[in-house]
Amino acid sequence: MKGKINLKTSNPSSKKINNLLPVLQVISVFASLFLVSSLTMTTFKAHALPKALGHHRCGVTGSGGDFDLHAVIQNSNIDPTTPMGSVLTTIEMEGGAWNFRCTVSGSPNDILFLGPHAEGGWSTAPSPNNDNTVCRIPGIQGIGIRFYRKDGQAKKCYTTIFEPNNIIRIQWWDGNETASYSPLAELVRIGDIAGGAQTLPNMPITSMITNKSLRHDLFRLVFTNPTLDAPSCTMAQFNQTIDFGSGIARGDEVISKPFDVWLTDCSGDTLTEFKNSAELSFTSSLGRISLNGTRLYNCDDDDCANGAYITFTDIEGDDVNLKDGYRLNAQTTDDDYKLSFSSNLHTENTTGGKIDTSLTLVISYL
C-alpha cells in the first residue's frame, strides 16, 4: 500500500475536488476578508474674498484656489465587513470651522446655499434601506457619503428639487460667516467594498440662491488625505504533496505528516481581526467525512484500500473536527501568519489497495 497527501489551493468560486491515484488530496480554497478603515474629510477652508455683487459674491482663497473647499479624512482605514448601511467613518471640518468673507449683496433674494445637488452630479446611492440621505461617490465601489446640516439633521440627496436646508447657508447681509458643527459628513457602506487603496475624487458642491437660479460646481470639496485603505487578508494558495511512503502494511502505526496553512496580505490589527472573524471549514465528496467529523474516509472503488482513513490534529495535538470548523485564532505561535496541522493515516483495519480521497479547506466567516 502506498499513500500521499496532496495539499493544494483552488479558486474559491470552484468547488471541484481533484481525485488522486495513490494520493490523499487536501485542497485549500483561496478566500479573502477585506477590512476597511474609516475615513474623515478635511474641513472646507473657505476664507473668501469679496466677489462681484450677486451669486458669486463669496469665494475661497488659499493654495487650493478661490473655490476649493478642503476636508480631512478622520480614519483612512475602513472595514469592508461593516454591516450594510452602517457608518464606516465620520468627516469633520478642517480646523473645526469654515470661515467665509463675502460682499453684502443688498438683495433679500441673494441667500446663498451650498450643498450636494444633482445639478452638480450628485445622486442617491443604492442602499439596503432606500436611504435618501446617502449619496453616491463617483468612481468608488461600495461607499456612499451622508452630509449633515448645521441643525444636526442629515442632508437628503435630492436629484432635482430645490432644498434650502443645505450644509452651508449664507444670508444676503452676511459679510462674514462661519460654519462650525460636527459631524460634517459620514461615509456609509452601500455595497461590497474592494480591498486595497481607493482614492476619493474631488466633489462639486453646488451653489443655489433663493430664486432657484443655479451655478454648478462653483465650489469643490477637496480631500486633504483622499486615500482610503482597505487591507485584505487571504489564505495563501499552495500545491503541496505530503508523501506517506510506500509499502504501508495493515496494522502499521499511525503515520503522521505535517502541513501548514499560511495567511497573507495583511498584518497587525488587520491580521488579528481577520483571525478573530473567520474559521476553516471542510468539505469533501459525499460520504467521505464521518458523521461525527473525526475522520476522512478513503475511496470505495474496487481497487481502494478498504478501511483506511485520515484524521487531522493541530500543532497542540488537539483533534480537528471536520464538521465543526476550525477557528483561525485557535493557535498562538511565534508566527502569526501560519497555522500548523498534522494529517494522520490510519491503516489498522485496511486491505491492500490505493488511497484516493480529498478534502477541501474553505475560509468561512463567523
pLDDT for res 23? 32
Q: In degrees rounded to 5, what are phi and psi of residue 362? A: -130, 140
DSSP string, 265-333: S--HHHHHHHHHHEEEEEE-STT-B-TTSS-EEPP-STTB-TT-EEEEEETTSPBPPTTT-EEGGG---
Q: Of 165-174, 197-206, 333-342, which gets the smallest average pLDDT?
A: 165-174
Residue 17 pLDDT more than 60?
Answer: no
pLDDT tops 50 at residue 255: yes
Q: Which three cell numbers stand for residue 309?
A: 482513513
Q: Is 351 helix (H, G, I), strand (E, B) or coil?
A: coil
DSSP letter (8 states) at residue 152: S
Instruction: Provide, rounded to the nearest whole percent, the portion of the chain with pLDDT above 90.
Output: 16
Q: Phi/psi at 120 (nearest 5 deg)?
A: -100, 10
**Is residue 68 over pLDDT 70?**
yes
Separation CA 366–CA 355 (nearest Å): 34
Taking the model in full, what pTM does it have?
0.55
Ordered domains of the chain (ranges, CATH): 3-33+232-365 (2.60.40.1090), 36-230 (2.60.40)
Q: Flag the least confident range among 57-66, 75-84, 93-102, 331-340.
A: 57-66
- 275: how many CB neighbours lie within 10 A of its CB? 21
For residue 284, CA distances in Å to 19, 23, 299 come to 11, 15, 11
CA dihedral 349, 353, 355, 357 (to 10 degrees): -90
Cβ burial of 327 (10 Å; 0-12, 13-18, 19+) is middle
CA 145 to chain centre: 16
Q: What is the pLDDT of residue 160?
A: 63
Given this model, what pLDDT does residue 24 score?
34
Say yes or no to pLDDT of 177 above 50: yes
What's the mean pLDDT in 316-325?
Answer: 93
Q: Give the pLDDT confidence score for residue 57 in this predicted structure.
A: 66
Give the pLDDT band of residue 300 (cuts 50, 70, 90). confident
Residue 52 reports pLDDT greater than 60: no
* Amino acid 216: pLDDT: 54
Residue holding cell 458643527?
Answer: 181
Query: What's the pLDDT score for residue 211?
Result: 55
| CA 232/CA 240 separation, integer angstroms | 24
> Cα–Cα distance between 68 and 219 in angstroms, integer?
6
Residue 361 sits at the vertex; the CA angle it makes with 359 and 364, to the nearest 5 degrees, is 140
Q: What is the mean pLDDT of residues 72-80?
A: 84
Question: Worst-scoring range by mean pLDDT, 37-46, 77-86, 226-235, 320-329?
Answer: 37-46
Determine phi and psi for 272, rounding to 5 degrees. Answer: -60, -45
Is 310 within 8 Å of 342 (Cβ atoms)?
A: no
Average pLDDT of the residues in 206-211: 68
Among residues 136, 222, 120, the alpha carbon closest in space to that of 187 is found at: 136
Instruction: Give yes or no for residue 115 having a pLDDT over 50.
Output: yes
Query: Quick one: pLDDT at residue 51?
Result: 41
Instruction: Give the whole-number percent of the chain exceeding pLDDT 70.
Output: 75
